[in-house]
Amino acid sequence: MKSSLVLRPVNALVLSALVVSAVAAACSPEYDAEPNTAGAGGTAPATGGAGPMTGGSGGTAGSVTSGGAGGATGGTGGGTGGAGGTTGGAGGVGGASAAAGTGGAGGTGGQAGSANPVGGSAGVGGMSGSGGSNPATGGSAGTGGDGASGGSAGSMAGTGGSGGSVNNSEGPCDIYEDADVPCVAAYSVARVLRSAYTGPLYQLRRGGPDPNTGSGGELQDINAVGGFADKAAHDAFCGSTGTCTFATLYDQSGRGNNLTVAKGGCYEGTAAEDDYESDAKRRPTTAGGHDFYALYMDKHEGYRDNQTMDMPTGQEEQGVYMVAEGSGKRQGAGCCCCWNFGNASTDNCYGPSGQMNALFLGTGYWGKGTGSGPWFMGDFEAGVWAGGTGASNATNSMLPSMTMDYAFGILKSHASNYAIRVGNAQSGDLTTAYDGGIPTAFNGRWTMAGGIILGIGGDNSNSSDGTFLEGAITAGRPDDATDDLVFRNVQALGYGQ
């Protein structure tokens, strides 16, 4: 585990070990409920939080589901909407069925509510402020808190709402941060993974060459709305005809480890060619009642970053988690080499075992689990391991096939250990398939290089395919309790719902 993180570029490790056996070819492409009408509210001269920031002067902005930290306060039933001056909730959040709350400080004060007040004790907030018109309580008039419920019940006059913070729900990177194993790379085409993140989720490219190796056309960033990818903006930009591809996956860790299309590697065949950007309209899906586009990556498609910041190198501890489609959603998921997400070389070339530390999903020429796959395994270069310390072609009877619609996998390590944990991203518990010593092929040590790959092998082996939803890499090895919290966070999101 790192005691501190120092922003530093990772130096390229040029490792040119020659792979000549079948095992050594492991990384070669061998081949709101109804809004309550709680009275007219005060006609405060301010809006209750314009967008993800709330404004009054006293409480905190709320999360996706709770509008402000307390939302606008309830007066006697409806409460005041935060004495927030220019941004206190105009109209407050009235009670659940209260008659109304006052507007911001400067509002005229709504009629005191009398039925089921939900006013509350603090601040306005609300994600985008418009009278509590989302699935929470709040007066229908006024602008106090987009999704807020107006704080706790009570009859005390409320304080003004304080300037708000970003309203993203807790994500996996918040959990890792709390466990002192922070995300150093985090990507999702579905949602925000770190609550403080305010940047775009990904960038699209419209037009240009087809297939596209990363040039031409028009570019547009796609942001999150309410914590989820803005599908309306995605559709409006891509249109119904013509090519539209994923150009960049933005790193939500704050370290700038963005992924762009991978360049040709040192192996033969298509691995030696530049990869193609993936179709941005091919895989519509849902999560938590929100529509978005998953990142389906076909053969000859992959993303990479060789100039990373704060990625684990050498024998440093690391964790990787990923959510991807299992074979229940897409038959034949992940044949061949090598649909990976994780740590790899920085020169697009292969090297000795232990140079890579990436989570693989698929089937291939190496280790196996039970059933017919696909399986989450560890691609460590010159072999893909299902577990154990021996050869990479061993079968692990504790490793189940990922036959569900949405699969969840974890690969984590320290100097002398690695672990593989897997589960159904929609239900059930995590299975620890392996937690033990490193392969003897490492010659006693990891030599991680610190590059980041998605959908390919370390030498750009690009003969596999898969569908990516979200994933992150941590500096430090998360404990099992932290794994479980991240797993439950993913399940609570509701992929496929």
Catalytic residues: 381, 459
- Cα 438 to Cα 433: distance, rounded to the nearest angstrom: 14
Q: Are 459 and 349 in contact (CB under 8 A)?
A: yes
How far from 33 is each of 150, 204, 418, CA to CA, in Å? 15, 34, 46
How far from 403 is each of 96, 338, 367, 421, CA to CA, in Å? 44, 19, 17, 15
Q: Are 125 and 69 in contact (CB under 8 A)?
A: yes
Residue where the block lists tokens 């902005």:
61
Give the CB-side neighbour count of residue 114, counting CA atoms within 13 A.
1
- Cα 483 to Cα 202: distance, rounded to the nearest angstrom: 26
Residue where the block lists tokens 């897409």:
330
- Cα 48 to Cα 92: distance, rounded to the nearest angstrom: 8
Q: Are 412 and 318 in contact (CB under 8 A)?
A: yes
- Cα 16 to Cα 306: distance, rounded to the nearest angstrom: 16
The amino acid occupying position 253 is S
Which sign does the torsion angle of CA 239, 240, 243, 246 carry?
A: positive
What counts of helices (H) and strands (E) characterise the chain?
3, 21
Q: Are 77 and 156 in contact (CB under 8 A)?
A: no
Residues 6 or more apart in contact with residue 340 via CB below 8 angstroms: 356, 358, 359, 360, 379, 453, 454, 455, 456, 457
Tell me how crowded residue 35 is: count the other CB atoms within 10 A of its CB.
Answer: 18
Both tokens assigned to 344: 């790899």
How far from 103 is each of 40, 99, 139, CA to CA, in Å? 10, 13, 10
Residue where the block lists tokens 């000549």:
20
- Residues belonging to the chain: 497
- Cα 453 to Cα 335: distance, rounded to the nearest angstrom: 17
